[in-house]
Amino acid sequence: MSQKRENYRIQYPESARPRLLVGGFELDVFDLSESGASLTETALFEHDAPPREVSIVFSDGSEFSTTAVFVRTIADGVAIRFVKLVPLARIFSEQRHLRQRFLEVASTAGRVGSNTTVKPEGTRRTR
pTM equals: 0.75
Q: How far is CA 123 from CA 23, 79, 100, in A?
A: 37, 28, 14
- Walk me through the domains of the chain, giving residue ranges and CATH numbers: 9-126 (2.40.10.430)
Task: Please write the tens of the pLDDT for every residue from 4-47.
Answer: 657 788 999 998 999 999 989 999 999 999 999 999 888 899 88
Q: What is the DSSP secondary-structure string of 21-51?
A: EETTEEEEEEEEESSEEEEE--TTS-TTPPP
CA dihedral 47, 48, 54, 59 (to 10 degrees): 10
Q: Which pLDDT band holds residue 124 (cuts at 50, 70, 90)?
A: very low
Other C-beta atoms within 10 Å of 26: how many? Answer: 11
Task: Please write the tens of the pLDDT for every residue from 43-75.
Answer: 899 888 899 999 999 988 999 999 999 999 998
Contact 52, 44 (CB under 8 A): yes
Helices (H), the chain: 88-109
Per DSSP, the three-state class of 63 is strand
